[in-house]
């Protein structure tokens, strides 16, 4: 069959991808096209039939860590990529990057296959052999309580990790310990806004300026949190985001790096894909003196942490939904935290007066004088169908992996120990109802009442 001829006969055949260009929003899927309407209906039924959330877990949770926030639009986008054989990084990725950068007001964005890859890419940019921003072995300060891939990224890029204690009242980096930890070898500060709670950026920026430290932000749990009205991720050289299933928006797996510096963005893109001179402004890298085929020109070293078009298609849909999602996250979190305010036995993180967190989850600390432990209360909550987790890795120096690396064992971390012993979190999803939050509060209250009655 002559494919060109065949296409000529069908010039107006609707392409789903075209429906997602700038003028159209993802909410405007033309369901009135019969074949798409039929497919959409079939996907809706299939989503219902195939639902296996919670399966494989020890019990069914009525209050799970998260709920699926994607539906027919995202699946249609993924099918479009599959059926048009446009599965590897391409136009949808470019469009999603552009829209995400606009959403963040942050110059440019580079999509990758996970938040961990975003952290890894940022750290590799710091030591990129084309023009290293930091000398190999430079000291990078990171908080000791975080998702571990943030730390591994520093180490895998050949930088020297130095752990800083956290403030158990905020879960974020402890400012006094941060200042104490700075030495002449310290060159960068890799922050995390844990659970979505923004770090006190005014003071941190002052400290960084005073000591000429590069700031890098891990915003994987903090998409749309703000400090002084500015979205986190805009306070340093670059920032990372995660689109894992339970995060503020999801691309199944996926992540993003944002950065304002165009030249660095080009280098991030090359580091993302083999060090390959592709998808970048190649005029900056003349190949005249090399006898190589420009189609396979490698000008840097690199990884392969590219996303797929299926993930980017998800991202385009989810980004449209994000403001609505995050408005609900904020509302539900307010309802929960205001009911727990000044609780005798439980506390939640302090928030800087200039910060407006868009919470990732509902973190709780059991007060040290409570007549029960973190284990007691989480066991109770689990028995009542409420899923819980520790505050990520707790004090990483107490994880088994720390035995492998002497840098984890150089000191103690009292703030992190408190988080390790007393902290836990419960889920927060924009798909939770106000009624679920009330029932969660009632369940907690029933537990706490038992102790008050005993006096
Ligand atoms: C603070 C933080 N950084 C990095 C990551 C890694 O993201 P991903 O799971 O997408 O690799 C996570 C994941 O939850 C995280 O919470």
Q: Is the CB of 242 under 6 A from ligand 1?
A: yes
Q: What is the mean pLDDT of residues 238-248?
A: 98
Q: Is the pLDDT of residue 3 over 50?
A: no
Question: Structurally, how many domains does the chain consist of?
Answer: 1
For 26-30, 289-293, 401-405, 446-450, which range has the lowest pLDDT when averaged over its residues?
A: 26-30
CATH number of the domain bearing residue 335? 3.40.640.10
Q: Which two tokens stand for residue 445?
A: 């209250």
Q: Is the separation of the CB atoms in 211 and 149 below 8 Å? A: no
pLDDT at 311: 98
Determine what percent of the chain is predicted with pLDDT higher than 90. 86
Which among 188, 197, 186, 246 has a CA at the least distance from the CA of 219? 197
Q: Which two tokens stand for residue 10?
A: 């069908």
CA of 10 to the centre of ligand 1 (A): 45
Residue-averaged pLDDT of the chain? 92
pLDDT at 26: 38
pLDDT-derived band at 6 (thresholds 50, 70, 90) equals: very low
pLDDT-derived band at 453 (thresholds 50, 70, 90) equals: low
pLDDT at 52: 77
Residue range of the domain that includes 311: 1-455
pLDDT-derived band at 31 (thresholds 50, 70, 90) equals: low
Q: Which two tokens stand for residue 264?
A: 């660095």
Distance CA 278, CA 194 (A): 35
CA of 390 to the centre of ligand 1 (A): 15
State the catalytic residues.
247
Q: Is the CB of 192 under 6 A from ligand 1?
A: yes
pLDDT at 30: 65
pLDDT at 60: 82
Q: Is the pLDDT of residue 255 over 70?
A: yes
Q: What is the mean pLDDT of residues 238-258?
A: 98
Q: Is the CB of 128 under 6 A from ligand 1?
A: no
- Mutate-to-test residue for ligand 1 from 116, 250, 357, 389, highest number of ligand atoms within 8 A of CB: 116
Q: Is the pLDDT of residue 19 over 60?
A: no
Q: Is the CB of 415 under 6 A from ligand 1?
A: no
Which among 329, 340, 356 has a CA at the least distance from the CA of 434? 329
pLDDT tens digits along 180-199: 999 999 999 999 999 999 99
Q: How far apart, in Å, do the first and last CA atoms of the chain sit? A: 84
Q: Is the CB of 244 under 6 A from ligand 1?
A: yes
pTM above 0.95, yes or no: no
pLDDT at 33: 82
pLDDT at 342: 92
For 38-52, 73-87, 337-351, 368-382, which range has the lowest pLDDT when averaged over its residues?
A: 38-52
pLDDT at 59: 66
pLDDT tens digits along 61-90: 999 999 999 999 999 999 999 998 999 999
pLDDT at 58: 62
């Amino acid at each position: 069959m002559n494919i060109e001829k065949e296409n000529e006969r069908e010039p107006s055949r609707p392409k789903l991808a075209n429906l997602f260009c700038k003028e159209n929003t993802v909410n405007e899927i033309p369901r009135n096209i019969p074949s798409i309407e039929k497919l959409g209906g079939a996907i809706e039924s299939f989503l219902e039939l195939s639902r296996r959330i919670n399966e494989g877990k020890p019990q069914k949770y009525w209050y799970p860590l998260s709920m699926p926030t994607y539906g027919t639009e995202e699946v249609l986008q993924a099918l479009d990529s599959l059926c048009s054989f446009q599965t590897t990084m391409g136009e949808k990725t470019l469009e999603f990057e552009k829209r995400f950068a606009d959403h963040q007001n942050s110059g440019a964005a580079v999509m990758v296959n996970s938040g961990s890859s975003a952290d890894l890419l940022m750290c590799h940019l710091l030591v990129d052999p084309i023009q290293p921003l930091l000398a190999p072995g430079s000291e990078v300060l990171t908080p000791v309580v975080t998702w571990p891939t943030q730390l591994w990224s520093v180490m895998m890029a050949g930088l020297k990790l130095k752990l800083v204690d956290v403030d158990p009242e905020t879960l974020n980096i402890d400012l006094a310990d941060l200042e104490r930890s700075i030495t002449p070898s310290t060159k960068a500060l890799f922050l995390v806004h844990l659970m979505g709670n923004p770090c006190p950026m005014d003071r941190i920026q002052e400290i960084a300026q005073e000591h000429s430290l590069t700031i890098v932000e891990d915003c994987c749990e903090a998409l749309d949190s703000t400090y002084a009205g500015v979205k986190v991720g805009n306070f340093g050289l670059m920032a990372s985001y995660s689109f894992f299933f339970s995060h503020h928006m999801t691309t199944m797996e996926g992540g993003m790096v944002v950065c304002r510096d165009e030249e660095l963005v080009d280098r991030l893109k090359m580091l993302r894909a083999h060090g390959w001179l592709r998808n970048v402004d190649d005029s900056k890298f003349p190949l005249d003196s090399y006898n190589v085929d420009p189609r396979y020109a490698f000008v840097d070293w690199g990884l392969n942490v590219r996303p797929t078009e299926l993930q980017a298609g998800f991202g385009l849909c989810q980004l449209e939904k994000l403001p609505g999602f995050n408005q609900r996250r904020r509302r539900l979190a307010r309802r929960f935290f205001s009911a727990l305010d000044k609780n005798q036995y439980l506390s939640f993180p302090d928030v800087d007066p200039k910060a407006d967190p868009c919470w990732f989850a509902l973190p709780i600390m059991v007060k040290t004088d409570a007549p029960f432990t973190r284990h007691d209360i989480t066991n109770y909550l689990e028995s009542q169908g409420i899923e819980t987790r520790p505050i990520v890795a707790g004090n990483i120096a107490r994880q088994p992996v720390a035995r492998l690396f002497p840098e984890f064992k150089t000191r103690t971390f009292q703030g992190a120990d408190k988080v390790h012993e007393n902290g836990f979190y419960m889920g927060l999803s924009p798909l939770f109802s106000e009624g679920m939050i009330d029932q969660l509060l009632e369940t907690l209250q029933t537990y706490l009442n038992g102790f008050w009655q005993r006096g």
